Amino acid sequence: MAIAKGPQAFPRAEFLRRLSAVKAEMGRRNIDALIVLDSSNITYLTGYTSLSGYVPQGLVVSMDEEEPTFILRRQDTPAAIHQTFLDRGKIIGYPEALIGNPDKDGFDAVIDYIAEAGLGTGSVGLELSTLSAPSAEKFKRRMPDAKIVDCTRAVAWIRLVKSDLEITVMREAAAIADAAIMRAAEVIQPGVREADAVAEILGTLARGANGKPGTMVSQISLCSSPRTGTSHIAWSEDVFRKGSQINLELAGVRHGYCAAIMRTFSIGTPSERLRRVHDAQAAGLEVALNTVRPGVTCSDVANAFYRTIAQAGYTKESRCGYAHGIGWVEPTASLKDGDMTELKPNMVFHLMLGNWIDEDFGYVISETFRVTDGGVEVLTSAPRKIFEM
């Protein structure tokens, strides 16, 4: 029996709007067909969020067709029919013989489709950075008559400015992130195992907020004493202790869209060292957010932060954040010195102010914000304090 379409996170018109933007870019680059391989880009253009991207799959956007064609493992086609706005005729499953096969894989099916669709002699865009070296070789070898154009990040740059519908979804994700931070503040207690606190935090990320569940759970980082100088450890097998500091980074997720937040927790009164860093960083956060408005550059926002903490004698080596949306980090604009990307309304960033000051000491705070017509809307809203327990 046929599987029915599921509820869609966005109306068809929204996907067609996104595809129009992609086709306009293809026009600028003189491309007849674009092969989209990056999972986040596929989510953006179709609504597909099923976790099948560990095997090859590709979405072919053709100038001549309203809807793109999605070529993926046959086992995953029912999910594509169910989750995406695509007509079922636009979803092509490739056989299982291409899985775990040293000689052929799903990219051969994508290449076969390009040939069958008569696109093999035109100009074909490819996300080369998403493709492994041998796979890129295969595309070149098996499409000898195509002019291959590297379109790495072409779709990602379009994702940078969100629609109001996307902003609504990111607000929902941000509310989930806030709820998880508040849950962390309840469950981080001396004598509790980190894993038990994480269980509650993950539970909140799944249950969601305001009646909107999380639709996926992204990895969290819980870096506690003596690991506050680290940034990407999931958690440890330790038990929280009196005097421990805990740096927490997490994101709420709705329909692939992430909204991230970081907060620092202290079991007992924070040390003078921690308090001083917090004061400087929270002031820097405020100044950076006040800098945000259309026309300002990413570099301006970062430098507003850097200048403010410098007044208190601090530096931060890492960038101050990145474009934010589907799949957490978008690989385009960075809030860093020298990134001259101009802010536009409905760009969203994770203003990531984690500062790993010493090998054994760091502090984290962050917000997810949207650029508005006249300034900034901060999507996350947990209190900007060191949470004390």
CB of 24 to a copy of itself, least distance (A): 23
CB of 37 to a copy of itself, least distance (A): 11
Strands 321-325, 348-352: pairing is antiparallel
CB of 188 to a copy of itself, least distance (A): 14
**How far apart, in whole angstroms, are the C-alpha atoms of residue 92 and residue 100?**
19
**How far apart, in whole angstroms, are the C-alpha atoms of residue 227 and residue 234?**
11
Nearer to a copy of itself, 231 or 380 (CB): 231
Nearer to a copy of itself, 20 or 101 (CB): 101
Nearer to a copy of itself, 236 or 372 (CB): 236
CB of 179 to a copy of itself, least distance (A): 12
Nearer to a copy of itself, 65 or 150 (CB): 150
**How far apart, in whole angstroms, are the C-alpha atoms of residue 51 and residue 57?**
11
Nearer to a copy of itself, 118 or 338 (CB): 338
Pair of tokens at residue 305: 């932060």
CB of 367 to a copy of itself, least distance (A): 19
Pair of tokens at residue 368: 């997810």
CB of 142 to a copy of itself, least distance (A): 15
Nearer to a copy of itself, 82 or 385 (CB): 82
Nearer to a copy of itself, 330 or 367 (CB): 330
- How crowded is the C-beta side of 42, counted as CA atoms within 13 Å? 26
**How far apart, in whole angstroms, are the C-alpha atoms of residue 351 and residue 368?**
6
**How far apart, in whole angstroms, are the C-alpha atoms of residue 76 and residue 99?**
12
CB of 253 to a copy of itself, least distance (A): 9
- CB 325 within 8 Å of CB 162: yes
Nearest alpha-carbon partner for 161 in 328, 348, 377, 367: 348
Strands 69-73, 245-254: pairing is unpaired
Say what angle helices 39-46 and 12-28 make with each other, to 10 degrees.
120
CB of 351 to a copy of itself, least distance (A): 14
**How far apart, in whole angstroms, are the C-alpha atoms of residue 381 and residue 39?**
29
Name the strands in the sheet holding 123-126, side by side, starting at the edge strand that comes first in the sequence.
91-94, 69-73, 58-62, 33-36, 123-126, 147-150
CB of 385 to a copy of itself, least distance (A): 24
**How far apart, in whole angstroms, are the C-alpha atoms of residue 270 and residue 225?**
12
- CB 365 within 8 Å of CB 285: yes
Nearer to a copy of itself, 197 or 376 (CB): 197
Nearer to a copy of itself, 23 or 77 (CB): 77
**How far apart, in whole angstroms, are the C-alpha atoms of residue 24 and residue 55?**
29
Name the region of 268 (left: φ>0; alpha: ψ -120 to 50; beta: rest).
Answer: left
CB of 184 to a copy of itself, least distance (A): 13
